[in-house]
């Protein structure tokens, strides 16, 4: 029974996580990466970049008509961001929970936003919100060859030998 997951097969899902400019400037990158590693997810893509307004307009296409959109663009282009692709079982749903409510005032303690931020306009991190959104956003932010498949040195001990 320990050897396989046949009743709940693990899904190899991927999602986009972005440490926003305030997160980079406040030196929170390491602590955010640590949370995803600690949870058990696998890092399959990572880069630091300055976002263009064009990329942002595509990323936030549903928000372009919102009154706060100009502020959002200014915020997201105010410095470099760290863009990550994380892989693992139900990573999209789990990472949304780890990131917490959009408005930090409503985010639970223990979430990234609940632990590190105060205001919706500076909420430190982005996480894709659905399988369709994750696929769209990963294709937008990463070239195909930037996302890697790789094996864990400990996978044979922790997953298969026990
Ligand atoms: P998310 O998926 O939790 O990031 O939330 P949304 O997709 O609804 O919004 C995208 C981002 O826009 C949020 O993370 C905030 O940074 C920003 N945002 C959302 N609502 C507001 C708002 O009312 N005011 C401002 N200034 N920014 C907002
Ligand atoms: Mg969103």
The whole-number pLDDT of residue 158 equals 56
Positions marked active-site: 126
Atom of ligand 1 nearest to the CA of 102: 3
Residue 113 marked in a binding site:
yes
Residue 77 marked in a binding site:
no
Separation CA 130–CA 136 (nearest Å): 10
Taking the centre of ligand 1 as the mean of its atom positions, its distance from the CA of residue 124, in whole angstroms, is 11
Decide whether any atom of ligand 1 lies within 6 Å of the 68 Cβ: yes
Q: Count other Cβ atoms within 10 Å, centred on residue 60.
A: 15
Nearest protein CA to atom 14 of ligand 1, as residue: 102
Q: What is the pLDDT of residues 28-78, one digit of tens each?
A: 999 999 999 999 999 999 999 999 999 999 999 999 999 999 999 999 999
Q: Count other Cβ atoms within 10 Å, centred on residue 4.
A: 10
Taking the centre of ligand 2 as the mean of its atom positions, its distance from the CA of residue 150, in whole angstroms, is 29
The whole-number pLDDT of residue 156 equals 62
Pull the structure tokens for residue 72.
């959002």
Q: What is the pLDDT of residues 90-135, one digit of tens each?
A: 999 999 999 999 999 999 999 999 999 999 999 999 999 999 999 9
Atom of ligand 1 nearest to the CA of 126: 4
Say if residue 13's pLDDT is above 80: yes
Burial class (CB within 10 angstroms; exposed 0-12, middle 13-18, buried 19+) of 62: exposed
Residue 68 marked in a binding site:
yes
Which among 157, 139, 152, 162 is positioned nearest to 40, based on CA atoms?
152
């Amino acid at each position: 029974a320990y050897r396989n997951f046949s009743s709940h097969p693990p899904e190899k899902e991927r999602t986009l996580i972005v440490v926003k400019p305030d997160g980079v400037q406040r030196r929170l990158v390491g602590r955010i990466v640590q949370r995803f590693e600690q949870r058990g997810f696998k890092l399959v893509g990572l880069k630091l970049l300055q976002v263009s307004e064009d990329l942002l307009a595509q990323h936030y296409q549903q928000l372009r008509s919102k009154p706060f959109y100009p502020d959002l663009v200014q915020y997201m282009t105010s410095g470099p961001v760290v863009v990550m692709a994380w892989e693992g079982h139900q990573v999209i749903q789990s990472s949304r929970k780890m990131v917490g409510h959009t408005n930090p005032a409503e985010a639970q303690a223990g979430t990234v936003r609940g632990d590190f931020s105060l205001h919706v306009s500076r909420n430190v991190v982005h996480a894709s919100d659905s399988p369709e959104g994750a696929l769209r956003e990963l294709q937008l932010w990463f070239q195909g060859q930037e996302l890697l498949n790789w094996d864990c040195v400990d996978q044979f001990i922790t997953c298969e030998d026990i």
